[in-house]
Amino acid sequence: MKIATWNVNSVNARLETVLRWFESAQPDVACLQEIKCVDEKFPTEAFERLGYNVAVHGQKSYNGVALLSKTPLEDIRRGLPEGEGDDHARYIEAVVSGRQPVRVASIYLPNGNPIPTEKFAYKLAWMDRLNRHAQALLALEEPLVLTGDFNVIPEPRDAEFPKNWVDDALFQPESREAFRALKWLGLTDAYLQADGAPGAYTFWDYQAGAWQRNNGIRIDHALLSPQAADLLRGVSIHRDVRSWEKPSDHVPFMVELDL
């Protein structure tokens, strides 16, 4: 089973590019972030024509996440627990049916910039909520994939120019500590487990020639429960998509499980 994550930076604005990649890569499951549309405006029919079942948790103009699967989606959850007063569409989770079901979540973690504001506090509080929910999911002892745009650079090796990020919320000690705390629950970073080579970036900013200078960072991750990690066959970063016409600033990251 091929499970992909991709921050598409507006699914309707980049629909032709997104569909081109789907037709080429043929993921069994895809987790999209920053779809930037309400549920009714998501191009569901275009993905259904490619054979996907679709679940959306959208928001007008901002955020928004989606799950697409070639097999039916069950037990769909939109939003993290403890979400009173939080209207950001950043989390959707479902069980992907099949010979061996797997629970998958599409995550768009808050950016958190600028640091000395409530935005950074919101980021850390959101990560605490995710940690508590992940604990509950791990207690189910089933294959689980938490994947998406985590907006965290885990280590200096995950940036081409680490010094450029020392004042950014993505690289703060608190952000990195919260990401480590997630892994310490018993989750495996799929990329580090299957490959681990430095330079595996998934994001290049549109500004200052970041793509041309390879000024990239690894912020799109897949965290696996022990039951999913045992099934891990490999990972791939579809770097070439960043050079396509009208690209997102992120590229697809794919995990392959022996399912």
Q: Is 108 a catalytic residue?
A: yes
Any idea what the Cα angle at residue 94 is, between residues 39 and 47, rounded to 5°?
50
Q: Is 88 a catalytic residue?
A: no
Query: Is the torsion defined by CA of 7, 8, 9, 10 positive or negative?
Result: negative
For 37-94, give the secondary structure using H, E and C: CCHHHCCHHHHHCCCCEEEEECCCCCCCEEEEECCCEEEEEECCCCCCCCCCCCEEEE
Query: Is the torsion defined by CA of 222, 225, 231, 232 positive or negative?
Result: positive
From 28, 149, 158, 168, active-site residue: 149
Asked if 51 and 70 count as a contact pair (C-beta separation under 8 A), the reply is yes
Nearest to 195 by CA among 239, 137, 163, 134: 239
Q: Would the annotation count 7 as a binding residue?
A: yes
Nearest to 134 by CA among 172, 100, 95, 105: 105
Q: Would the annotation count 250 as a binding residue?
A: yes
**CA atoms within 13 A of residue 77's CA, in its CB half-sphere:** 16
From 52, 91, 108, 191, active-site residue: 108
Q: Would the annotation count 249 as a binding residue?
A: yes
Phi, psi of 14 (to 5 degrees): -120, 25
**CA atoms within 13 A of residue 153's CA, in its CB half-sphere:** 28
Q: Is 250 a catalytic residue?
A: yes
Q: Would the annotation count 151 as a binding residue?
A: yes
Annotated binding-site residue numbers: 7, 34, 149, 151, 249-250
Q: What is the set of active-site residues?
A: 108, 149, 250
Annotated binding-site residue numbers for Mg(2+): 7, 34, 149, 151, 249-250
